[in-house]
Amino acid sequence: MPIAPRGARYWLTRGWQRRGQLLSGWVVPSGRAVPGWALASAALAPAVLVTGWTIAGLLQPPSYSPVRQTVSVMAGRQGTDPWVMTTTLVLLGCCYLITAAGLAGVWPAARILLFIAGVSSIGIAASPEPAGGPTPVHLAWTVLGGIIIAVWPALAAWHSQRQSLVLSLPARILVTMSFLGLLGWLLQETQGGAALGLAERLDMSVQTTWPFVVALALRLSGTTQVAPAPAEYAARR
């Protein structure tokens, strides 16, 4: 049976289909839901954060308490060698940006939120805390980043029917509620609590690890699901 020539309408329909798949993150050239560079950046984020605040803490005077005081103090104008913690926050933001670009298997909204979280981390570094206390800009970036990274797991769902346990709805709800609980503890400590620094470090260390958990789950789950062809194209095959 002869095959009808494919006209401009077919190629236009096919082109829009492929564009839609790429924009929604359903097609990955490497054949995997997460490329290696995105997995590496996700793994690097918590390592960079913990290493950065450890080195910065060693440079602070004995009066600095990591249990009572935040990491923003080390990056602020009253800290010793603030460039260490400032660089750490910038690198953390870059890790988020790179990871967001490579998490092609999750909903676009989750990738956008992770991108905003990366920008927030860079914004915190760009608005150092003065000796008199945090500025409104510094607080705005801090609150924005804290809320986004806390609710981010709820949206980190996959486009495939081969759902990973980590990306299942019950797991995402449980993780999000846990993160919100940590955030609530952190907010409570800001009201004159004696463990503000401890709450912040625990909150940040756990939350920065989760993008790597999601990226690893996507990587191990295999390829993403490709959207079905339009009905018009299926009829021409």
* pLDDT tens-digit map of 43-99: 999 999 999 999 999 999 999 999 999 998 999 888 889 999 999 999 999 999 999
What confidence category does residue 19 fall into, taking pLDDT thresholds of 50, 70 and 90? very low
* Cα angle: 48, vertex 54, 60; to 5 degrees: 135
Strands (E), 68-207: none
Nearest to 88 by CA among 129, 131, 44, 135: 44
What confidence category does residue 204 fall into, taking pLDDT thresholds of 50, 70 and 90? very high
Is-above-0.75 flag for pTM?
Answer: yes
Residue pLDDT, tens place only, 100-147 = 999 887 889 999 999 999 999 999 999 988 877 788 999 999 999 999
